[in-house]
Amino acid sequence: GAGTRIFSGVQPTGHLTLGNYLGAVRRWAEVDQHRAEALFCVVDLHALTVEHDPARLRRVSRQAATLLLAAGLDPELCTVFVQSHVEEHLRLSYLMECTASDGEMRRMIQYKEKAAREQARGGSVRLSLLTYPALMAADILAYGTHEVPVGEDQAQHVELTRDLAVRFNQRYGATFVVPKATHPVVAARVRDLQEPTSKMGKSHARTAGVVYLLDEPEVVRKKVLRAVTDAGRDVAYEPEQRPGVANLLNVLAACTGGDPRRLAEEYDSYGALKKDVAEAVVEMLRPVRERHAELAADPSSVDAVLRRGAERARSLARPRVDAAFEAVGL
Ligand code: ADP
């Protein structure tokens, strides 16, 4: 209702995926921006936690913002901005590092997974990969956020954010709203089409199992039709035993507004299911692709949206971050 604040973000680490859309962005556009003071952020600082290319980062940050607008975020209704444009995130992040413990950072699943990936590639693990959740907590808490609409992969980080808010408030006096994560009912975790035990992620090296929002219809069809399915032939919704088919049913249900269990009963072959999934995804992404073409033709309009967004975000964040500095004795 009135007074509710919503904050969420995406990393500019590549084109947005179907997982980003179904797990988060679609609901930001269809629901969240209409019912609350909502802020959506391209979290470019978070992209520095793993190896990156400076020229590319600037380009993909604007690209990510363009995609958010194409996906339906309306700058008349919500605030769209880039994290590094608002220095309050960095100021508060340090206070969060001084609130969190080393042990609770090391327990984060995403840290363990990404650190293992970096080490497997022979690279070193940046310290910021470990402290990532402190910056994320700052992103959220700076705005007095009540709700954080995210995919399930982010649940643990939001839980930690809650712990940090409570701890800070206990130590230094009531400063932060304690936020909660909200997840979509269906497709809160979209799986990779080629590796249905892992999530569909935009930074995956192998992209055959990842559908991107701007994939041409032919590409979407090819990826879906080649999706890995499970042993057996009949279509049944068994997420544990048959993650490949369950994933396709989740995607179809999310696209059409149906129920994955009930949808399973309508199909007697994987082929027919895949065909319908492909068409449903193509139809859902069609307006996003069309809006994107218009926006990409006018990049200065996107820059103007981001400038206005940063001003608005800064004005909302500054008083609370100033109060936090004062509360700790700075
Ligand atoms: P990625 O992991 O693809 O780089 P981000 O970390 O930028 O994505 O996350 C942006 C939003 O998309 C978050 O709310 C995240 O929970 C959601 N999200 C990312 N991947 C998936 C997925 N496979 N299924 C559901 N939601 C996802």
- 305 contact partners, CB below 8 Å, separation of at least 6: 65, 69, 75, 80
Q: Which H or E run includes 157? A: helix 155-172
Residue intervals in the chain for CATH 3.40.50.620: 5-182+299-327
From ligand 1's centre to the CA of 158, what distance in Å?
13
* CATH numeric code, 217-293: 1.10.240.10
Residue nearest to atom 16 of ligand 1 (CA): 151
Residues near ligand 1 (Cβ within 6 A) = 8, 10-11, 13, 17, 19-20, 23-24, 150-151, 153-154, 188-190, 199-203
Each residue's pLDDT tens digit, 193-221 = 999 999 999 877 778 999 999 999 999 99
Closest C-alpha to ligand 1, atom 22: 19
Q: What is the per-residue pLDDT for 1?
A: 55
On whether the CB atoms of residues 142 and 161 are closer than 8 A, the answer is no
Both tokens of 318, joined, read 């500054």
> What pLDDT, in 10s, does the model give residues 167-192?
999 999 999 999 999 999 888 999 99
Atom of ligand 1 nearest to the CA of 191: 23
Check residue 204 and give its pLDDT.
Answer: 76
Mutation to probe ligand 1, out of 8, 113, 153 (largest number of atoms < 8 A from CB) = 153
The top-level CATH class assigned to 5-182+299-327 is alpha beta
Pocket test for ligand 1, best of 16, 17, 20, 60 (most atoms within 8 A of CB): 20
Ligand 1 centroid from CA 330, angstroms: 36
Instruction: Say if CB 186 and CB 260 are below 8 A apart.
Output: yes
Q: Which atom of ligand 1 is nearest to the CA of 11?
A: 7
Q: ipTM higher than 0.90?
A: yes
pLDDT value at position 76? Answer: 98
Say how many Å lie between the CA of residue 172 and the centre of ligand 1. Answer: 33
Q: How far is the CA of 188 from the centre of ligand 1 (A)?
A: 9
Among 170, 104, 181, 121, CA closest to 146: 181
CB 178 within 8 A of CB 168: no
Q: Atom 4 (ligand 1): residue with closest C-alpha?
A: 202
Closest ligand 1 atom to residue 199 Cα is 23
What CA–CA distance (Å, rounded) separates 232 from 242?
Answer: 9
* Backbone region of residue 72 per phi and psi (left: phi > 0; alpha: psi in -120 to 50; beta: other values): left
Condensed to tens digits (0 to 9), the pLDDT of residues 11-20 reads 998 789 999 9
Q: Quote the pLDDT of residue 231.
A: 85
Closest ligand 1 atom to residue 188 Cα is: 25
Return the active site residues. Answer: 114, 199, 202
Q: Which ranges of the chain have pLDDT less than 50? A: none
Cα 35 → chain centroid: 19
Ranges of CATH 1.10.240.10 domains, the chain? 217-293
- Cβ atoms 25, 68 nearer than 8 A: yes
The protein residue with its alpha carbon nearest to ligand 1, atom 11, reads 20
- Which tokens hold the place of 328? 């700790």
Q: In what order do the strands lie in the sheet containing 180-182?
A: 79-82, 37-42, 5-10, 147-149, 180-182
